Amino acid sequence: MTSLIVATQNSGKLTEMQYHLADLPWELQLMPADLEIEETGTTFGENAILKATQVAKHLGQWAIADDSGLEVRALDGAPGLYSARYGKTDAERIQRLLTALQGVEERQAQFVCAIALASPDGCLACQAQGICGGEILKTVQGQGGFGYDPIFFVPSVQQTFAELSSEVKRHISHRGEAFKALLPKLLAVQAEH
């Protein structure tokens, strides 16, 4: 079984990737705690590629990385790349976003996820992106999830990310869509190696 290093220290992200890649003969592992990658890209895709290629090159192993965030149309795509740094806590980030949208009726938004896979020599092997469209509610709704999930409403299922079951969320989310797009590419890469 081939090791696949997940370019994160987030065990929740590792678990989610294990779910999406369960059918592949790869053993997923978190990157070493002492390894730090600076996210200097200007897009989610650039950051995912940066993390995957640098971790792969540093460790000499296959690496996978994702970068994701929330883009709000009325805020010209903010918080975007800064979604995780939009406040110190989830509650602060949500409050800052709701304050920024006060009095704004057009509340369309989308979660974006970019994923990149790099070979042990640090070269990009494949990449994909997924998007889940929705809108930002005026108040928190639901107890599950994390981040902006309680205010991100998905019209197609008439619920927020925080109200969805884990299974439904994994299927329709931006990360789920990115993995659906990535899987055929991963299988092709795997067949070559």
Model pTM greater than 0.85?
yes
Residue 1 clears pLDDT 70, i.e. is over it: no
Question: What would the mean pLDDT of 91-105 be, rounded to a whole number?
Answer: 96
DSSP 27: E
25: pLDDT strictly greater than 70: yes
- Tell me: pLDDT of 185 over 70: yes
Catalytic residue status for 67: yes
- The 10 Å Cβ neighbour count of residue 21 is 18
Note the helical H segments in 6-142: 11-20, 44-59, 90-100
Domain that holds residue 132: 2-192
Position 192 confidence tier, pLDDT thresholds 50, 70, 90: confident
User: How confident is the model at residue 11, as a pLDDT?
Assistant: 83
Rounded to the nearest angstrom, the gap between the alpha carbon of residue 12 and the centroid of all alpha carbons in its chain is: 11
Task: Give the separation between CA 24 and CA 61, rounded to whole angstroms.
Answer: 16
Distance from C-alpha of 137 to C-alpha of 157, rounded to nearest angstrom: 14
- The number of domains in the chain is 1
- Considering the candidates 23, 34, 67, 76, report the single residue annotated as catalytic: 67
Are 185 and 126 in contact, with CB atoms under 8 Å apart? yes
Instruction: State the Cα–Cα distance between residues 112 and 125, nearest whole angstrom.
Output: 21
pLDDT at residue 103 is higher than 90: yes
Identify the CATH number of the domain in which residue 55 sits: 3.90.950.10
90 versus 187: the higher-pLDDT residue is 90
The pLDDT score that the predictor gives to residue 191 is: 79
Tell me: the pLDDT tens digits for 36-73?
Answer: 898 899 999 999 999 999 999 999 999 999 999 999 99
